[in-house]
Structure 1
Amino acid sequence: MNTDWLEDFIALAETRKFTAAASLRECSQSTLSRRIQLLEEHLGSSLFDRRCTPLKLTVAGQALYPTSYELVRLSRECERSVTVQDPPLTFASLHTLACNFFPQWLGHFHDEQAPLYTRIDTGHKSTENYYMALLSGRCDFILFYRDTESQRYCDRQDFEVIQLGKDEILWVGIPAVAHAIADSQGPIPWLTYAPSAQLHALSRPQLSRHPTPQRLKRVFEATVSEALKPMVTMGYGIACMPFSMVAEAIERGDLVRLYPELPADHLEIILVRWLGGNRDRAETFWEKVKARHGRG
């Protein structure tokens, strides 16, 4: 299958208009329309409901979208892999850890005389995809929270794990929301992680301990903490979040910890590598990490 067709499909799926998609793809509207038709003929399914304005994805189009996105990404990875002669150390990381843990942690290994060339990839959609990226050589390490799903990989003999630090999950909200919760018995607006996010599963114990779970009313969900945090700080509701994500806001008084009587859930931040990898640079870096943190 021609990946150009998939890129056309993604552009049209995201813009829902042939004119806008053609502009993104730098081609004529008629050319784009023909290529979409060729893709539909190849798959034997209609991907767009053209009776709607703007266009609407059919059931087949909705099913194709995430797969096509990943195929295009992998195609670009393949092209880069044969052109880069000095590839970076690549970390497949949760978005939260990439933004709030990785930069400071990497500073422990900074050498001005021989600076590290690193890359971080947060584009994987599931725990399994992270580990498949490691096994396929698309990344050298995984930066993750330890959880039940990832533990089955960590228990295997062909993986090695180092604990880099700890975090904890707790309930937070702005002071005004905290007061409103205490003064009312009405619904509590609840901001949460989408089911596909690792932190969705990791926050379940806190949810189970909530003193009045029947009052929680879901009003927003996001796949990453960076989308959840602004909604919390704007007062849209309460959320379970990693302490590392909200520590500064709590210190400033912008947020407060809710339900302090509830125990916080401790999280292990881990770095994982596959022993089947054969890059000398990755091995050298791993030994430096091991010397600093030991084996977890």
Structure 2
Amino acid sequence: MDIEWYEDFLALVDTGKFTAAASMRGSSQSALSRRIQLLENHLGATLIDRAKTPIRLTAAGEALLPNVVELVRLARDCEQSVKVIDRPLTFASLHTLACNFFPQWISTLNSLESPMFTRIDTGYRSTDDYYMALMSGRCDFILFYRDARTESYSQQGDFEVLSLGHDELYWVATPELAARCAQPKTPIPLLTYSRSAQLHEMSRLQISRHPEPNRLRHVFEATVSEALKPMVASGQGVACMPHSMVAPLIKRGELVRLYPDMESDHLEIILVRWRDNRNPSARALWERLTG
């Protein structure tokens, strides 16, 4: 058995499609499908319900998922521990923030003369997982959106929270699909975040504000914005997405903002630190940010 089988499994869970998972893994669809079958044969259980699109996990797949997340994480940590001498500053981050906020933000703190050694980790599946990683020392900071769940941790007093900026959540679609949505009684294909995604709860308010919710038809869901973005851009449906994710596509005219009169949701971007973190570099950065 190869650890890559489990990484394939996670990619398939994240994207909901064999084609998208294969692209994420740099593999052909047939090769990835074959490795998933090998994993199922090894475990003696069917993990994927292939009769549905996007794919769904079977009961066995749902039971396996948390253990796979931890197994892949431990494997990556083992590889990292022997490849580096210096300890990097590790940020556990949502995919969306890792791709669209972190590079620009960290560049304001870095310099060519004295660059920081940093590492980004987007593999956690729940808010609890993020905070457990913080307290176990597997990461130094959490880069997150503020929500009710993060607030419950912040109120415990074991964590320090710093506001870094804001994002905005609103509806988008291709111009062609937007024109179709303007036609009365036409079903509107909806692309959403999976329940395990932090943005799932945050986008529910936008969905509840939809002027005609009875027209919405769920056609796709994913745990990360990076999987939703190409689906929206190819005209597969409408979605609530962060401004930082879709702004370039809107500027190029590939996407348009729907329902401009509808109130958008403002998302606060936060950096979280555990007070008992023992990494001197992490402490120095925090003091620099808050000083």
TM-score, structure 2 length as denominator? 0.80
Given residue 290 of structure 2, which amino acid in structure 1 is its aligned partner?
K
Answer yes or no: is 1:113 the counterpart of 2:110.
Answer: no
Aligned to 1:166: 166
Distance in 1, Cα, partners of 2:210 & 2:71: 41
CA deviations on 1:228-274 (whole Å, 9 max, x unpaired) are 11111111111000011111111222111111111110000000000
Give, in angstroms, the shift of residue 61 of structure 1: 6.2
Distance in 2, Cα, partners of 1:247 & 1:69: 31
Query: Which moves more between the two structures, 164-173 or 67-76?
Result: 67-76
* Structure 1 segment 10-21 matched on structure 2, within 5 A: 10=6, 21=38
Q: Which of the two has higher C-alpha Rg?
A: 1
Give, in angstroms, the shift of residue 157 of structure 1: 1.0
Task: State the Cα RMSD in Å.
Answer: 2.7
Conservation of the 8 A alpha-carbon contact between 1:169 and 1:241: yes
Seen in structure 2, the aligned counterparts of structure 1 residues 288 and 234 have a Cα distance that, compared at 3 Å, is same
Give, in angstroms, the shift of residue 85 of structure 1: 3.0
Give, in angstroms, the shift of residue 71 of structure 1: 2.4
Give, in angstroms, the shift of residue 9 of structure 1: 7.4
Give, in angstroms, the shift of residue 18 of structure 1: 8.1
Conservation of the 8 A alpha-carbon contact between 2:7 and 2:72: no
Give, in angstroms, the shift of residue 48 of structure 1: 3.0
Aligned to 1:48: 45
Give, in angstroms, the shift of residue 81 of structure 1: 3.5
Give, in angstroms, the shift of residue 275 of structure 1: 0.3
Given residue 281 of structure 1, which amino acid in structure 2 is its aligned partner?
S
Aligned to 2:143: 143
Distance in 2, Cα, partners of 1:260 & 1:72: 42
Answer yes or no: is 1:68 the counterpart of 2:65.
Answer: no
Distance in 2, Cα, partners of 1:201 & 1:12: 26
Distance in 2, Cα, partners of 1:74 & 1:11: 12
Conservation of the 8 A alpha-carbon contact between 1:47 and 1:60: no
Give, in angstroms, the shift of residue 7 of structure 1: 3.8
Seen in structure 2, the aligned counterparts of structure 1 residues 158 and 142 have a Cα distance that, compared at 3 Å, is same
Structure 1 gaps of 5+ residues are 23-32, 37-45, 50-56, 292-296
Conservation of the 8 A alpha-carbon contact between 1:48 and 1:58: no
Aligned to 1:218: 218
Query: Which moves more between the two structures, 268-277 or 218-227?
Result: 218-227
